[in-house]
Amino acid sequence: MNATLEMEADVKCDLERCGIGKTGLQVGSRLLDGMKAILFDMDGVLIDSEPVHATCISSLAEEMGGRALVETELLTFKGVPDREVAAGLMRLFPESGREASAVMKRAFDLFVERFSLVRLISGAREFAVAAGEAGLRLAVATSAAPSMQKMAFDAFDLNGLFETVVTGDDVKRGKPDPEPYLLAAERLGVNPAECLVIEDSINGVRSGKAAGCRVVGLTTSFPKEALIAAGADGVVGAYGG
């Protein structure tokens, strides 16, 4: 898929000068000028899991409330911690009588059942390797639980690429709060202003911007217009050149 880059008015660069190229984000991108670290989201940025998550959440909604979720409802669950997914489903279907821990466990079980459908985002691992070799510090800040993060890292050979991983269990306030990205930057010992965040969701973009990071949106889950409106400094459709 050809990538496009949309820059807000205060970011004065075109495709060629930004080093994005016509096919995706590269380590030589102008968006990385002055950056010391890259902070990756996981779902939708490293692994193509959002459609699987959506199916799991909708299936769980049918179990709890007898109906699948409509698209607008599903969008509210993108990029949020598992405990907030559970809380949202409990608000929608209070008559289910399920406790948060039971909802979270069932959501995880459904994801495990469908995990074979998850794929690595094309070019993601290669980009991370190239960024590390270029001297950039790398971290992950995901809303996923540690069990989901470990399963993905083991399956797609991502262990050892990142200096630190922040999961949904590491923070009190998940995205769009800045805490996940602030914690990732703190663990690396890098100023947030010197970190590039790569995000696919509106909540994730808002989290990165609120943390004071530069943010590039990846159009795996939301259209470029929505990511720009959320505050992304640039938007691409893929990795690579």
Q: What is the pLDDT of residues 103-130, one digit of tens each?
A: 999 999 999 999 999 999 999 999 999 9
Could you tell me the residue range of the domain that residue 106 belongs to? 50-117
Amino acid letter for position 197: V
Task: Write phi, then psi, for 221 (nearest 5 degrees).
Answer: -125, -35
Whether residues 42 and 131 share a domain: the answer is yes
Contact 92, 73 (CB under 8 A): yes
Any domain includes 194: yes
Any domain includes 172: yes
Any domain includes 45: yes
Contact 123, 240 (CB under 8 A): yes
| The pLDDT of residue 3 | 35
- Of 117, 145, 165, which residue is a domain's last? 117
Q: Quick check: is 41 catalytic?
A: yes
Can you tell me which residue has the tokens 């990511």? 227
Whether residues 136 and 80 share a domain: the answer is no
Whether residues 132 and 189 share a domain: the answer is yes
Whether residues 101 and 152 share a domain: the answer is no
Whether residues 124 and 195 share a domain: the answer is yes
Any domain includes 94: yes
Whether residues 37 and 65 share a domain: the answer is no
Kindly state the DSSP code that residue 66 receives in the 8-state scheme: S
Whether residues 42 and 129 share a domain: the answer is yes
26 burial class (0-12, 13-18, 19+ CB within 10 angstroms)? buried
- Of 65, 87, 117, which residue is a domain's last? 117
Parts of the chain with a pLDDT under 50: 1-23
Of 165, 202, 172, 154, give the one whose Cα is nearest residue 187. Answer: 165
Give the chain's domain count: 2
Q: How is residue 80 written in tokens?
A: 């949020």
Whether residues 164 and 75 share a domain: the answer is no
Task: Give the span between the Cα atoms of 133 and 140, in whole angstroms.
Answer: 17
Question: pTM surpassing 0.85?
Answer: no
Amino acid letter for position 66: G
Whether residues 100 and 169 share a domain: the answer is no
Any domain includes 59: yes
Any domain includes 5: no
Run of H or E including 81: none
Any domain includes 189: yes
CATH number assigned to the domain comprising residue 213? 3.40.50.1000
Whether residues 77 and 158 share a domain: the answer is no
| The pLDDT of residue 2 | 35
Q: Which of 33, 41, 82, 109 is catalytic?
A: 41
- Of 80, 98, 117, which residue is a domain's last? 117
| The pLDDT of residue 82 | 83
CATH number assigned to the domain comprising residue 86? 1.10.150
| The pLDDT of residue 1 | 35
